Every structure is written in structure tokens, then in C-alpha cells.
Amino acid sequence: MAAENLAVSRETFDNVILPVYAPAQFVPVKGKGSRVWDQQGKEYIDFSGGIAVTALGHCHPALVETLKSQGETLWHTSNVFTNEPALRLASKLIAATFAERVFFGNSGAEANEAAFKLARYYACKKHSPFKSKIIAFHNAFHGRTLFTVSVGGQPKYSDGFGPKPADIVHVPFNDLAAVKAVIDDHTCAIVVEPIQGEGGVMPATQEFMQGLRELCDQHNALLVLDEVQSGMGRSGKLFAYEHYGIKPDIITTAKALGGGFPVSAMLTTHEIASVMAPGVHGTTYGGNPLACAIAETALDIINTPEVLNGVDARREQFVSALQKINEQFDIFSEIRGKGLLLGAVLNAQHASKARDILNASAAEGLMVLTAGSDVIRFVPSLVIEPTDIAEGMARFARAIAKVLN
Ligand SMILES: *Cc1c(COP(=O)(O)O)cnc(C)c1O
């Protein structure tokens, strides 16, 4: 029978979905630009962007056009055959970055899994099988496979699943001395988010990123940047590493890469890629023509001065609106992040109210995110209309007033 004959609602979730999420009480059914509507027809402004994914808003006409035209042409070939959209997307990513070789996956975790395996494999082939230590950071997030939760290092995500991959060390973020204390010639990689996303919207400092590059060079280790959240224009540059004037060895990108269609990529150099051979790693869907065609269109639009320069102007509108709210309510200690990866940090008096504010915002018709219990996170479309920012911030102010009263 046709799917529309079966009535579903938020309650259905509790009966049919594995209980690993706690979704909002409403069910979105339609989106256009930065507006979303739920089953009851209530309208929301979207500052959450599907968790930094819908960088061109919902149902962008160019993405819809590509979805339709590629959808009528060729969806899938597997990795037994290559395809034109994947070859074009890889070529364009290479032209736009430090990279010379691309591996496609379907999610951020898969891109990171490929990156971590490549870093270990490269060290094993070029140096020694004992060069396997990975240095990562407190509050990091790299995905949900067993290797990526282990590199992420947060017990709440990695405990209870049996033995973890070994030889991974965690030290405080933005603390170069802590890295110096643990790095040695058995280190194969340092893995870092240039801007920690889930961990509280925390940018790496210039000294830190530069220092990590130098330490990697001294110890023949690879600098692996997880740009799953910070990449694809989110920071105001195509990739956040460009802000730091450093050249990474591997970067990963996902979330906004397909503008809402699942696709991810790991980018590296020819020299590092050259240790790989057919069969060493792979995935059935990776480089799927439908996903790659959509990502190519998203990249063509995002990687333009109009969109990238527009990020900072929109950031300013967000920051000044948040400062006005703060003058009225004295609720934030800091507004941080880069570009349109924004974190409003609740001050000590209002700590741990992030979830309440998120719920109150939804009631006012606004979708926001949290990053931990003390940070409200905004990751809207990179092309959100200024009028939508203004209206969304008016709703946000009403939500905060309700929470504080
Ligand atoms: C979201 C995220 C991931 C995981 O991506 P998935 O697509 O959920 O697997 C990895 N790293 C960072 C920095 C992220 O923000």
C-alpha cells in the first residue's frame, strides 16, 4: 500500500525507532530556504541547519534540479565502476584545496574512519608497525563507529562496547605543552577539529594549530583535521584550515558537503595516498553518482565569493542580535566560534539551561541546537536571508524571556 495511507506522528517514534535519540515533540514535514513546517502546519525558522548540513537551506532550487536530472540518469554504480559525477567532484575538491587524492564515503564517521586507518597504514608501511599512537583531544567528536568514538575519547559514547582500539591518547584542546608531553616517534597522527563543534563551539588558536603542524613535522606524524562540521564554507572559508595558514596532511568533510544528501570525503596528498592499493579499504556506496552530483552542485555554489563573503556579514548580524539579547537578559558570558558556527555560552548563573532554551525556542517557532549543557549553537544556512535572522532572533528573545520568568 502507498506509504501515505499509514498515519504516523511523534508518538510513532517511541514505538518503531531504536531509542538512541530524543527528537523534538514536533515532526517537520516541509522546508524551503530557512523555514520549516511541521505536521500541524506550524512554521519554524531554522538556525540548526540539520546540524550544520543544509548549508544552502532546504530544497535549494539548484540542488533539487540536480537531484531530479541525475535521478533520471544514473543513481549507483558501486566501486566496481567509476562514474562522471564522482570524478568531477573529486577534481573540484582537489582544485579548491591542498589535496591531490580523494576517498568518498557516506558519513562523517566513515570519512574519519578512513582517515584514521590511512594514518595508521601509512605509518606502518613507511616507518614501522609500532608507529600507531594517535593523539586526540578532550571534548572531541569524530563520529560513532568504534574507532571514531575511541578517538573522540568521551566515555559516554565509547564505554560498554567491549575492547576499544588501543594506542590513542587524549590531552586538553588548545594546550600545546600537553601535546609536547605525549608526542614521540611512535606517534602516527594528531587528530583535531579546527573548531570543536559538538564539544562546545571552540576554535583552535593560531599558536595551537601552527604548533601541531610543527610537532607533526618533527615526529613524522600526520596532521589530520576533522572538518566534518567546520568545512564547506561554515567558517567563512571553504575549509577552516585556511584561516591558520597551515597545510594539513588529511582532512575529512561531510555534513554540508551534500547540502542534505548523505556524502562524505577524505582528502589527502598523492604521497600519503600512494601506500593504498585496491582492496585495502572501501565502501559500496562511496562516490555514488547521485550523491556526488548533488555535492558537486553544492560545492559550485558554496565555493564562490558571494556565498563565502556573505558568511561574515550574517555572522555579524547574529552576534549583534545576541549582544542585544544579552544586554536585556545578562545570560551569556561569551559569543564564540567562527563564521556561521556560532556558540552562545550561558554564564554561570544560567548554566545548564541550554536544553530548556532549545525547547522554549521550538515553542516560539525556532530551531536551534545545543553543544553541551551550557552552549546554544547556531549553524544556519550559509545563505539565510537577513529577514529570517531578524525574525528568528526575535523569537529567540521571546524564548529566553519565557525561560527566565
Ligand atoms: C558530525 C560530526 C562527525 C560525525 O559525522 P556523521 O555524519 O554523524 O558520521 C564527525 N566529526 C565532526 C567534527 C562532526 O561534527
Q: Distance between CA atoms of 103 and 334, rounded to whole angstroms?
A: 38
pLDDT in tens, 344-397: 999 999 999 999 999 999 999 999 999 999 999 999 999 999 999 999 999 999
The per-residue pLDDT for 4 is 64
The per-residue pLDDT for 145 is 98
Looking up cell 556506496 gives: 285
Q: Which of the following is catalytic: 131, 237, 255, 353?
A: 255
Question: Considering only CA atoms, which of 227, 259, 223 is closest in space to residue 240?
Answer: 227
* CA distances, 74 to each of 68, 78, 254 (Å): 11, 11, 22
- Taking residues 298-306, report their average pLDDT: 98
Cβ contact 308:240 at 8 Å: no
Residue 255 has pLDDT above 80, yes or no: yes
Work out the percent of the chain whose per-residue pLDDT is above 70. 99
**All 3 cell numbers of residue 114?**
578512513
Cβ contact 291:363 at 8 Å: no
Q: Which of the following is catalytic: 26, 103, 131, 226?
A: 226
Residue 99, phi-psi category: left (phi > 0), alpha (psi -120 to 50), beta (remainder):
beta
Mean pLDDT of the chain: 97
Is the pLDDT higher at 373 or at 115? 115
Looking up cell 583535531 gives: 192
Cα of 218 vs centre of ligand 1, distance in Å, is 29
Q: Is 125 a catalytic residue?
A: no
Give the β-pairing of 332-338 and 341-346.
antiparallel
Ligand 1: which of 110, 235, 251, 255 to mutate, judged by most atoms within 8 Å of the beta carbon? 255
Is the pLDDT higher at 100 or at 5? 100
* CA distances, 101 to each of 18, 255, 300, 342, 404 (Å): 37, 20, 19, 31, 51
The per-residue pLDDT for 387 is 98
- Taking residues 168-181, report their average pLDDT: 98
SS3 content of the chain, % helix, strand, coil (to 5): 45, 20, 40
pLDDT band at 121; cut points 50, 70, 90: very high
pLDDT in tens, 136-150: 999 999 999 999 999
Ligand 1: which of 51, 150, 173, 198 to mutate, judged by most atoms within 8 Å of the beta carbon? 198
Amino acid identity, residue 139?
N
Question: For ligand 1, which residues put their CB under 6 angstroms from it?
Answer: 107-109, 112, 141-143, 193, 197-198, 226, 228-229, 254-255
pLDDT in tens, 314-336: 999 999 999 999 999 999 999 99
- Taking residues 219-224, report their average pLDDT: 98
Cα of 252 vs centre of ligand 1, distance in Å, is 10
Q: Which of the following is catalytic: 104, 137, 141, 378?
A: 141
- Taking residues 258-278, report their average pLDDT: 98
Q: Distance between CA atoms of 102 and 344, rounded to whole angstroms?
A: 35
Residue 339 has pLDDT above 70, yes or no: yes
**All 3 cell numbers of residue 296?**
558537486
Q: Which residues contact 177 (CB under 8 A, 6 or more apart)?
A: none
Q: Distance between CA atoms of 205 and 244, rounded to whole angstroms?
A: 9
Please tell me what DSSP assigns to residue 104.
E
Q: What angle do CA 349, 235, 187 make, to 5 degrees?
A: 90
**All 3 cell numbers of residue 267?**
582528502
Ligand 1: which of 51, 142, 147 to mutate, judged by most atoms within 8 Å of the beta carbon? 142
Residue 119 has pLDDT above 60, yes or no: yes
Cα of 402 vs centre of ligand 1, distance in Å, is 32
Residue 2 has pLDDT above 60, yes or no: no
Q: Which residues contact 381 (CB under 8 A, 6 or more apart)?
A: 33, 34, 46, 49, 54, 55, 56, 57
The per-residue pLDDT for 3 is 59
Q: Is 378 a catalytic residue?
A: no
Q: Is 141 a catalytic residue?
A: yes
